Amino acid sequence: MNKKHGITFETFLKNFKLHVSKLGFKNSIQKDYILKILFYCDEHLTAEQIAHKVKVEYNIDVGIATVYRTVKFFEDLNLIDSLDVGDSVKRYELKIAEHHDHLVCTSCHKIIEFTDEVIEEKQEDIAKENNFILKDHAMIIYGLCEDCQ
């Protein structure tokens, strides 16, 4: 079985279906395939790219409105993150990887993921200094990638 982030897709999907059912929502085959695309993809995908991949990889037609509704649903469940790289187009990724931040090229819109323990610790220090409980954060650094410089 193919694992990602220490878990198989089958286990991930089973847990997702249980969670959705407990919340009183219905699951659909479209949601399953959208989750599968996001689970196995290492890129940040737009809704259009998700719909295209579902069609090409699984021969399932998913309308773009369904993809938008589904990613909104996943965002509401805190299952995925969305990222706007400055071109007004949201890109999505599943939230099962360890926390990371992003460098975004303002020219070609390339996204580079990074982790930095010093930055993570500094954010916690700043929150503590301000008597603030840090729940989550997103850091996006905009600039020019090596290819666009």
Q: What is the CATH number of the domain that holds 87?
A: 1.10.10.10
Question: Is residue 82 domain-shared with residue 19, that is, in the same domain?
Answer: yes
Local confidence band at 69 (pLDDT 50, 70, 90 cut-offs)? very high
Pick from 59, 77, 97: which residue ends a domain? 97
Dihedral over Cα of 89, 136, 93, 35: its sign: negative
- 145 assigned binding-site residue: yes
Is 105 marked within a binding site? yes
Mean pLDDT over the full length of the chain: 88
Tell me: is residue 120 an annotated ligand-binding position.
yes
81 and 140, same domain (yes or no): no
What share of the chain has pLDDT > 90, as a percent? 44
Residue indicated by tokens 């410089």: 149
Q: Is 109 annotated as a binding residue?
A: no
Consult the annotation and say whether 41 binds a ligand. no
Which of 56, 71, 97 is where one domain is finished? 97
- pLDDT over 90 at 145, yes or no: yes
Q: What sign has the CA pseudo-torsion 67, 68, 71, 77? A: negative
Whether residue 108 is annotated as binding a ligand: the answer is yes
The answer to the question of whether 101 is labelled as a binding residue is: yes
pTM (predicted TM-score): 0.75
Distance set, CA 51 to CA 30, 40, 66, 88, 99 (Å): 10, 15, 9, 18, 26
Tell me: do 92 and 116 sit in the same domain.
no
- Say yes or no: 32 and 70 in one domain: yes
Give the chain's domain count: 2
Annotated ligand binding at 19? The verdict is no
Asked if residue 73 and residue 108 are part of one domain, the reply reads no
Domain residue limits at 16: 1-97
> 27 Cβ partners below 8 Å, 6+ apart?
16, 17, 20, 21
